[in-house]
Chain A
Amino acid sequence: MQDKNFFKELLTKSAEDFKAGRMDRRDFLGLCAVAGVATYAVSIGDAQAAADEIVFWNWGGDAVKCHTDSFGSPFSTDSGLGFKVDTSGPLQGKVKEMVDSGNITADVADADAFDAIALGKSGHLEAIDYSVVDKKKVLEGFAWDHGFSAIFYGYGFMYDSEKFGDNPPSTWADFFDTNKFAGKRSLYKWANGAIEGALLADGVAKADLYPCDVDRAISKIQSIKDDSIYWGSGAEASQMIIDGEVTMGMVWINRAKAVEADTKGRFKLVMNEAIAMPGAYIVPKGNPAGRENVMKFLASCQTPERQINMLSCHGMTPANPEAFAMIPDDLKRFAVTSAENIDKVVFNDPAWWAENGGDTLNRYLDAIG
């Protein structure tokens, strides 16, 4: 996802230039067209957060529209507070830097559960007020002191049904078996999901996944290293599949529907043993809108209808059990928490990743390099 930031930063910079009169409108729009990004995706609201609005810090792209339509606009209507999106991507380091510098410009960040745990521990986050946010509206086990899941996403893999249509792969063991299923593989570059997938493939039972045996996972990953390429952004993952660079590719599940459509159904998603990732909405310590306002907003994100909207819009699966039954039929197949999938998937353990993520990532990067 970081790669995407380059475009965004270029455009944000240009947007500032445009605003300051250093660039005329035509140049700016032209640049946006070149970048293939609609102008609304570029927010220049950074550092202008105020008490009467919620600044939502996410990763840009479709999420801007989806977060605004599903969560932001309904909340604004209810509460009268404004809603803005900052698309610079709340990586742990950025949250840490923001809080440490004292120049806090975001109220909510769309982060991972392990971020919530790690940053909560290091004192960079506001605690969640569970008198406002309802713990019962979160799948059990996915509400922590400094964040909770409103949505799940996850890692599954897609395969080329023209190559493997007769005997399709259905497990990570199949994914890692390049003898039985010939061709290239693509894996996530930042280790998440790939470690779990490798362990499952190597015969570790779902229940024994954590704590992860990183050595074992890495040697499994290295066993197909010559046939693997690695992606850093969702766009890259899709592109590797659509361009036929791989016969099986790990993907973000929320993108699978679009990839199936783009390949006219040739590539199909395997949800069995998919790694479900709990997202976490976190609040940087000292957020500009104040704790009370942001908790109200977070509670509003638990509304089942709004979570379903988010699923329709962005493929992110609801985390509120009340919403599970409301998942539309055509999306059930792609939803981590739908009745047909919830028992097949493996839930990521954010506590383990919060503790071991950094070292694991460095070892993983070293191993694939």
Chain B
Amino acid sequence: MRLNNYWLLVAPLLLLVMALYAWPVINILWLSVTEPQAGLQNYEKLFASSSLARILWTTLRVCLLTTFGAVLAGYLVAYMMAHLASGERSWMLTFVLVSFWVSVLVRAFAWLTLLGRNGLLNGALISSGLTDEPITFVRNELGVLIGMIHYMIPYAVLPLLANMQGLDGRVMSASRSLGAGPLVTFRRIYLPLTMPGIFAASILVFVISLGFYVTPAILGGGRVLMAAEYISVQVLVTLQWGTASMLATLMLGGVLALMFTLSRFMKLSEVFGAKA
């Protein structure tokens, strides 16, 4: 068989990707079985250390809840946008995109200002007599979830909006004309047809959430320790690079396994918008 010429064309790019991406990743995998000495002792820690298990569980729990919240809220926003006139929609899209520019740090502190003990919301609740004691919205896991969901909504909106705008509105009218009310039409037609968008949004939000660091650190009041922050501490402060690379490897593996599992149920290229 003749060597396909096209491979020669993409070879430089592949080499570049290998050098800039694959090599460092392989390095990290390598570190996880060689630091501080060769062996699987870093992975054994997973079973030995309840603290690692707890961090991973916190990470998984927070990320899943964030994914659920952000995709749910994003679905509502995208639904509204998809059903607006195009002029209004482009305005809303602008607002969604503008929110990408606001630093994660600024947003976290903005939430503190709004929801803190002496924040605007608690001030309003107390002055209106609804509560006597300020409600603890932030500096706990709830705060982390609020901050993360808020941050992730735009990431959920975009794939969902693309999905919804691609739908033929007549299909929903057809369902109505065939005797299905709005709820049945939503459940049996609209929701299934937006599943690819929901999957894409969920994967995107979940994977990005795994790497969250600043929001949990600030809004969690130091009490919600997630894997990304823990890895950074192990790399930068405690110098336990073996543990850090083991966790990084685990997260990378987890994401790949997730993608693989999903790819068995649906075409990922379709999920991410490339029509097969």
Binary contact track B156-192/A, C-beta < 8 Å → 1, others 0: 0000000000000000000000000000000000000
Nearest CB of B to A263, in Å:
12
Known: A232-B217, A245-B139, A358-B239. A6 touches B55 (CB 8 A): no
Residues of chain B within 8 A (CB-CB) of A99 are none
Knowing A3-B217, A369-B55 touch, does A358 contact B223 (C-beta < 8 A)? no
With known contacts A93-B237, A243-B112, A368–B214 Cβ distance under 8 A: no
**Which residues in chain A, 117-174, are within 8 Å of chain B measured between CB atoms?**
118
- The reply to whether the CB of A7 lies closer than 8 angstroms to some CB of chain B is yes
Question: Is B104 in contact with A229, judged by CB distance below 8 angstroms?
Answer: no
> Does A175 count as interface, using CB distance less than 8 angstroms?
no
Cα distance, A30 to B109, chains bound together (Å): 19
Instruction: Tell me if B103 and A245 are in contact (CB < 8 A).
Output: no
Chain A residue at smallest Cβ distance from B109: A239
Instruction: Find out whether the CB atom of B117 lies under 8 angstroms from the CB atom of A245.
Output: yes
User: Are A34 and B218 in contact, CB atoms less than 8 angstroms apart?
Assistant: no
- Are B116 and A6 in contact, with the CB atoms below 8 A? no
Of the candidates B50, B55, B106, B232, which one forms a contact with A2 in the assembled complex, judged by CB atoms under 8 Å apart?
B232
The answer to whether A10 has its CB under 8 Å from any CB of chain B is: yes
Majority SS of interface residues in chain B? helix
A238 to chain B, nearest CB (A): 12
A363 to B225, CA, bound (A): 12
Residue from B104, B222, B235, B236 within 8 A of A6 (CB atoms)? B104
Contacts of B117 in A (CB 8 A): 184, 243-245
Which of B103, B221, B225, B234 contacts A229, CB < 8 Å? B221
A190 contact from B50, B58, B237, Cβ within 8 A: B237
Interface residue ranges of A221-271 to B (CB < 8 Å): 228-232, 236, 239, 243-245
Does chain A have a CB within 8 A of B238?
Answer: yes
Contact among B119, B225, B238 for A369, CB-based, below 8 A: B225
State whether A362 and B51 are in contact (beta carbons under 8 Å apart), knowing that A92-B237, A230-B223 are contacts in the complex: yes
A interface footprint on B205-226 (CB within 8 Å = 1, 0 otherwise): 0000000001001100111110
Interface assignment of B267: CB less than 8 Å from any CB of chain A: no
B50, B54, B104, B222: which has the most chain A beta carbons within 10 Å?
B222
> B249 in the interface, Cβ–Cβ < 8 Å?
no
A91 with B236, Cβ < 8 A, contacts A245-B118, A366-B54, A369-B54 known? yes
For A236, the closest partner residue in chain B by CB is B218
B237 touches A91 (CB 8 A): yes
Q: Quick one: closest A residue to B241, CB to CB?
A: A93
A146 to chain B, nearest CB (A): 16
Asked if B105 lies at the interface with its beta carbon under 8 angstroms from chain A, I say yes
When distances are taken between beta carbons in the complex, the residues of chain B under 8 Å from A206 are none
Min CB gap A123→B, angstroms: 13
By a CB distance below 8 angstroms, the chain B residues around A6 are 103-105, 214
Is A357 close to B, CB under 8 A? Answer: yes
| A361 adjacent to chain B (CB < 8 Å) | yes
Is A65 interfacial (CB 8 A cutoff)? Answer: no
CB of A22 to closest CB in B, whole Å: 15
When each residue 32-67 of chain B gets 1 if its CB lies under 8 Å from chain A and 0 otherwise, what string results?
000000000000000000110011001000000000
A358-B237, A358-B238 are known contacts; what are 16 more A-B pairs with Cβ within 8 Å? Answer: A2-B232, A3-B105, A34-B106, A93-B236, A228-B223, A231-B222, A232-B217, A232-B222, A358-B239, A359-B238, A361-B238, A362-B234, A363-B51, A366-B55, A368-B222, A369-B55
Can you pick out 14 interface pairs between chain A and chain B where the beta carbons lie within 8 Å of each other?
A3-B218, A10-B103, A93-B235, A93-B239, A231-B222, A236-B218, A244-B117, A245-B139, A357-B237, A361-B237, A362-B51, A368-B222, A368-B223, A369-B223
Residue ranges of B at the interface with A (Cβ–Cβ < 8 Å): 50-51, 54-55, 58, 103-106, 109, 112-113, 116-119, 139, 214, 217-218, 221-225, 230, 232-241
A positions within 8 Å CB-CB of B: 2-3, 6-7, 10, 34-35, 91-94, 96, 118, 184, 187, 189-190, 228-232, 236, 239, 243-245, 357-359, 361-363, 365-366, 368-369
